[in-house]
Structure 1
Amino acid sequence: MKEENVILVNEADEPIGLMPKMEAHEKAVLHRAFSVFIMNGKGETMLQQRARNKYHSPLLWTNTCCSHQRSGESNIEAGKRRLLEEMGFKTDLKELFSFIYKAPFDNGLTEHELDHVMVGYYEDFPKINPNEVADWKWMHPKDIKDDIAKKPEDYTAWFKIIFERFYNHLLEKTVRNEG
């Protein structure tokens, strides 16, 4: 299978080239990525546990799905594609915000991404792809926040960064709706 390229970007999210995914992670080059959070009507977030065979962060818990956009693919198209590939379902997605982060891994690779964070809603069971996902569960955001504080080693490096921003976004939305 041919290795996928990632879209290299500047800090304004303007494409500046393509690079093989592993090379971008070895060199810690800024590239475009996305993170999808799926929620249900109870306000819970769907988490996935990464498959054992993943080249980094195996068996750690993370957001519903995340990956990299392909050349010519919109953020929403990429999120929907990967959600179907990993979790086996389709739903509408809405982009919430984007930001840049850098997260080094124990294996010498580094995620340096301009991440587009999206949310969608789903009420059913996923049909997980066992090559990508070991397990899944629904959790309330407050419970996720508490669990990360107690057991940070159970979660991916990027999820801990992204979740803090997602959680704050949910709080701000709640305050705006109540105010």
Structure 2
Amino acid sequence: MVMPTSPTSPTAANSVSNGTSNDVPDGAAREILLELVDEHGTTIGTAEKLAAHQPPGLLHRAFSVFLFDDRGRLLLQQRALGKYHSPGVWSNTCCGHPYPGEAPFAAAARRTHEELGISPALLAEAGTVRYNHPDPDSGLVEQEYNHLFVGLVQASPEPDPEEVGGTVFVTPGELAERHAAAPFSSWFMTVLDAARPAIRELTGPSGGW
């Protein structure tokens, strides 16, 4: 179900808000509604999560987080086998979707803690990237306007097993080896490449990113 934003639609008015916490829907609706956007990232409505990912996909807001330790290693997560979308594959530290009306920065920090049990010591915006990535295994489509964040982590992950199957810190060389040998999310290289300028600024020229 797609719900366009309209002054005459109480449902839309409740599910798309001005970003304040009081306007975020409660209960199950918070987990199944995504914020639809146009090509400029402007909110145009909401849609159920699964419906937004059915081919050809509906363009919606998302976020991707890249966290590094004090040695400049990137924290990767393996998506839990029980996830309906891209189960068991490796990907960036955390990714997901803001609740309708929730600021992407707040969503990134919230979801990182929910999935990995950690709060970034530093988290900074790293731009946006728009992509269209079909998932060949599930048949679902990632049509996303993705907000990127890079940061530092000083605590050891304590992942939620329902969300995360494993974690590992990797150097650029170790990432290349793992990427060649193991399955990764369809969107991983797109978001990594888009975030590289901010990653290099964070880790320094000697980091190799």
Fold match (TM-score > 0.5):
yes
d(CA) in 1 for partners of 2:115 and 2:186?
19
Superposition map of 1:70-109 within 5 A:
70-91=99-120, 92-106=122-136, 107-109=138-140
d(CA) in 2 for partners of 1:142 and 1:64?
17
Larger gyration radius, structure 1 or structure 2: 2
Superposition map of 1:106-145 within 5 A:
106=136, 107-145=138-176
Query: What is the aligned counterpart of 2:48 among 16, 20, 32?
Result: 20
Amino acid at match of 1:30: L
Higher relative contact order (Cα pairs below 8 Å, separated by 6+ residues)? 1
Secondary structure at the aligned position of 1:157 is classed as coil
Query: CA, structure 1 residues 63+47, in 2 after alignment: closer, same or farther (shift >3 Å)?
Result: same
**For the aligned residues, what is the CA RMSD?**
1.8
* Structure 2 unmatched runs, 5+: 1-27
Q: Is the contact between residue 36 and residue 59 of structure 2 (CA under 8 Å) also seen in structure 1?
A: yes
d(CA) in 2 for partners of 1:145 and 1:95?
25
Q: When the two structures are aligned, how many residues end up with a matched partner?
A: 173
Identity level (%): 35
Amino acid at match of 2:92: N
